Chain A
Amino acid sequence: MDRNQAHRNRKRALKTLHFIALFLTMSIICIPGLWIVLNSFRPTVEIMAKPPVWTPSFTLDHYRAMFGGAGAGGVPVFSYFRNSLIVSVVSTAIAILIGMSGGYAFARYRFKGKAGYFVGLMLFRAVPGVALSLPLFIVFAKVGIIDTHLGLILVYVALNVPFTIWLTDGFFRQIPKELHEAAEIDGCTRWQAFWKVEFPVARSGIASAAIFAFLTSWNEFALASQLTRSVGSKTMPVGLLDFTAEFTINWGGMCALAVLMIVPALILTFLVQKHLIAGLTFGGVKG
């Protein structure tokens, strides 16, 4: 009897502990982001107040200033947003096309040195952005595509192709090869079999690879900060630094821009989470 009682108590204690630990973890994950969102709606005086004010008031000033254009010390957020969008969307589209065909090659064909090619491609992804930015800066300056959308798009395509190959390889592997054989017997060419059968079946996986590529471009800083410098090509991560002056930082404005960067990322994350995990683990474990 006593032993049963003891076990029950222990179980209850563990359950409480489990709950508290989980709650703490989630808080640590959520609070920093919420703090940024909260502060983007607070007037600057309140952010700077000493002693701190804990009952927040509400203002849209930072957003108004942000979208108000470059005047009055404002930051040209609109241009940055547009640049980010153009560069990310175009580079994602190209990277997916190139990466998908590469991933398909790895998933469906046997050839000599396949594993070597695969690891080799991944190693290019491992080159640190800063290290790459030095020579790219010089080469791009020579070619004359520094500070242009084209330059950044090229870089992001190259950056995203290896990882897209990893992911799509995993997704195509999950599709039994009999499917395209059946399609070929049903009268398709290899090309038709791909577009009418294999592509639609892998569609959601490819979409998540695309979103992952998009986010990489959307979030990238190390290369963008060196390869862009004018309003015409700077992306949002680079633009974030505009709020930092020599000694002062416009916290509220930065928070507002941060929110503008996070929201699309969060929405996209929400859409892909399931497939992304599937792609990463399948590609890796069953590789």
Chain B
Amino acid sequence: MTEVTLSNVIKDYGKSRAVHGIDLGIADGEFAVLVGPSGCGKSTTLRMIAGLEDISGGEISIGGRVVNELPPRERNISMVFQNYALYPHMTVRENLGFSLKIAKKPEGEISKAVHEAADILGLDALMDRRPAELSGGQRQRVAMGRAIVRRPDVFLFDEPLSNLDAKLRTQMRVEIKKLHQKVGNTIIYVTHDQVEAMTLADRIVLMRDGHIVQVGTPLDLFNAPVNTFVATFIGSPPMNLIDGTASGSDAIELVGGLRVPVPSNARGLVRDGQKVRFGFRADNLMPEGHAVQAGGEKAELDLEVTLAEPLGTETVLFTDIAGHEVQAKMLNPRPVRSGERLKFLLMLDKCHVFDAASSDAIRG
């Protein structure tokens, strides 16, 4: 069993604190993704788990064993770096076998393990090349191969796809997911890209300013964001947010005078006069006739389209509610001119209410 547990982990750089007492448990075999904007402490946290950074406070344990003071080599982990960190003076074969050679494993065992890894990642044809002779995607694969050869307890990935172009990134994302299904180890993966986080993770750990903001499955974070930060960080396009004021306990007066009922998940939780932000995703604001959902409460809005972005399967429509830019989605697209007025349906049971002062979600 190789669960990873962080309790009250702190990292200080001189006087400034980069990580503020993180508590996190990652189960055996789980694919956990640490995600957040740059400078949020996600890479630092990963590097503390790896043993590349000292831990200023708290405790990290891997497989039930406290590793705070252990050097990286005694933690039985492997890591894939953002710039791959392949050894430029070794061939692919030597790169893959390096860790076993250091561990003084017998020659036969090394070549067997190297061969297996090469097989999994399709590196057989490249074994005698040096890193300089490989393309970006190939280097990425070697870096992953080097990580699996050791059969570590935990894999650590530090933004491994950010140096690849968009197409290759999608492709490698799939390969990483397949790899996880094949080897089944615990994986901790750091990225700043929410799409990567959504597609890869069993569980997402969303961080900001050295704190964990929300932990949960991708759908948890998408459907029930704990605050406006999560709501706008996860999902593309980001959630639309409109300022408003509660009027009574079952209606919200949006700026611009539009009045909507309080969504069912927050009913009874808002106070009269409370300043709130009303949120909904583009998928839940659709031109009439394009809505997929039959049931549920809906509000009707008459809005002017300012810009249309056709994406093929859908068209993103930009419109404006009382000075707030709002995005809507048109499934089954047809050409839309800017300036055109359309009747939109807002799916009220999919809307969210956040407290304006604390930006926390109001949800039952």
Q: Do chains A and B touch in the complex (CB under 8 A)?
A: yes
Interface segment among A119-127, A160-168, A176-184, A248-256: the answer is A176-184
- A136: chain B residues within 8 A (beta carbon): none
Cross-interface CB contact of B73 among A179, A187, A197, cutoff 8 Å: A187
- A179: chain B residues within 8 A (beta carbon): 85, 87
B146 within 8 A of A: yes
**B73 near A185: Cβ-Cβ < 8 Å:** yes
**B73 near A189: Cβ-Cβ < 8 Å:** yes
User: Which residues between 185 and 221 of chain A lie within 8 Å of chain B, taking CB atoms?
Assistant: 185-189, 192, 196-197, 200-201, 203
Query: How many residues on chain B are close to A (CB under 8 Å)?
Result: 23
How far does the Cβ of A177 sit from chain B's closest Cβ, in whole Å? 9
B134 within 8 A of A: no
B183 within 8 A of A: no
**How many Å lie between the Cα of A181 and that of B88 in the bound state?**
14
**B85 near A188: Cβ-Cβ < 8 Å:** no
**Interface membership of chain B positions 31-53, coded 1 if the CB is closer than 8 angstroms to chain A and 0 otherwise:** 00000000000000000001110
**How many Å lie between the Cα of A186 and that of B98 in the bound state?**
7
**How many Å lie between the Cα of A181 and that of B51 in the bound state?**
9
**How many Å lie between the Cα of A140 and that of B238 in the bound state?**
77
**B81 near A181: Cβ-Cβ < 8 Å:** yes
The residue in chain A whose Cβ has the minimal distance to the Cβ of B73 is A187
What class of interface size applies to chain A in its complex with B? 10 to 19
How far does the Cβ of A109 sit from chain B's closest Cβ, in whole Å? 14
- A176: chain B residues within 8 A (beta carbon): 83, 85
**Contacts A178-B81, A192-B102: A184 and B87 contacting too (C-beta < 8 A)?**
no
- B87: chain A residues within 8 A (beta carbon): 179, 182-183, 197, 201
- A188: chain B residues within 8 A (beta carbon): 73, 102
The residue in chain B whose Cβ has the minimal distance to the Cβ of A202 is B89
B352 within 8 A of A: no
The residue in chain B whose Cβ has the minimal distance to the Cβ of A175 is B88
- A182: chain B residues within 8 A (beta carbon): 79, 81, 85-87, 146
**A181 near B52: Cβ-Cβ < 8 Å:** yes
**B73 near A184: Cβ-Cβ < 8 Å:** yes
How far does the Cβ of A81 sit from chain B's closest Cβ, in whole Å? 35
B235 within 8 A of A: no
**How many Å lie between the Cα of A178 and that of B102 in the bound state?**
18
Cross-interface CB contact of A184 among B52, B83, B146, B150, cutoff 8 Å: B52
- Please classify the interface of chain B as helix (H, G, I), strand (E, B), loop, or mixed, using the class held by over half of its residues: loop
**A186 near B146: Cβ-Cβ < 8 Å:** yes
- B103: chain A residues within 8 A (beta carbon): 187
B248 within 8 A of A: no
**How many Å lie between the Cα of A184 and that of B77 in the bound state?**
10
- A203: chain B residues within 8 A (beta carbon): 89
Cross-interface CB contact of B72 among A178, A185, A192, cutoff 8 Å: A185
The residue in chain B whose Cβ has the minimal distance to the Cβ of A186 is B99
- B85: chain A residues within 8 A (beta carbon): 176, 178-179, 181-182
The residue in chain A whose Cβ has the minimal distance to the Cβ of B76 is A187
**Contacts A179-B87, A192-B102: A184 and B71 contacting too (C-beta < 8 A)?**
yes
- B98: chain A residues within 8 A (beta carbon): 183, 186, 196
**How many Å lie between the Cα of A192 and that of B50 in the bound state?**
18
How far does the Cβ of A87 sit from chain B's closest Cβ, in whole Å? 32
B78 within 8 A of A: yes
**How many Å lie between the Cα of A132 and that of B337 in the bound state?**
84
**How many Å lie between the Cα of A213 and that of B73 in the bound state?**
36
**A185 near B102: Cβ-Cβ < 8 Å:** no
Q: Pick the most buried of B71, B72, B81, B89: most chain A CB atoms within 10 A of its CB.
A: B72
- A189: chain B residues within 8 A (beta carbon): 71, 73
**How many Å lie between the Cα of A183 and that of B82 in the bound state?**
15
**How many Å lie between the Cα of A196 and that of B85 in the bound state?**
14
User: Which residues between 16 and 37 of chain B lie within 8 Å of chain A, taking CB atoms?
Assistant: none
- B88: chain A residues within 8 A (beta carbon): 201
**A184 near B81: Cβ-Cβ < 8 Å:** no
How far does the Cβ of A34 sit from chain B's closest Cβ, in whole Å? 40
**Interface membership of chain B positions 238-278, coded 1 if the CB is closer than 8 angstroms to chain A and 0 otherwise:** 00000000000000000000000000000000000000000
How far does the Cβ of B161 sit from chain A's closest Cβ, in whole Å? 16
**B102 near A187: Cβ-Cβ < 8 Å:** yes
How far does the Cβ of A195 sit from chain B's closest Cβ, in whole Å? 11
**B150 near A186: Cβ-Cβ < 8 Å:** yes
The residue in chain B whose Cβ has the minimal distance to the Cβ of A200 is B89
User: Which residues between 144 and 184 of chain A lie within 8 Å of chain B, taking CB atoms?
Assistant: 176, 178-179, 181-184
- A197: chain B residues within 8 A (beta carbon): 87, 89
User: Which residues between 59 and 88 of chain B lie within 8 Å of chain A, taking CB atoms?
Assistant: 71-73, 77-79, 81-83, 85-88
How far does the Cβ of A196 sit from chain B's closest Cβ, in whole Å? 8
**A186 near B73: Cβ-Cβ < 8 Å:** yes
Question: Known contacts A186-B78, A187-B99; can you find 4 more A-B pairs with CB under 8 A?
Answer: A178-B83, A182-B79, A182-B81, A201-B89
Q: List 5 A-B contacts (CB under 8 A).
A: A176-B83, A181-B72, A184-B72, A200-B89, A203-B89
Binding site for A on B (CB under 8 A): 50-52, 71-73, 77-79, 81-83, 85-89, 98-99, 102-103, 146, 150
Q: Which 10 A-B pairs have the closest CB atoms?
A: A186-B99, A178-B85, A182-B85, A187-B102, A187-B73, A184-B72, A185-B72, A178-B81, A200-B89, A185-B79
Binding site for B on A (CB under 8 A): 176, 178-179, 181-189, 192, 196-197, 200-201, 203
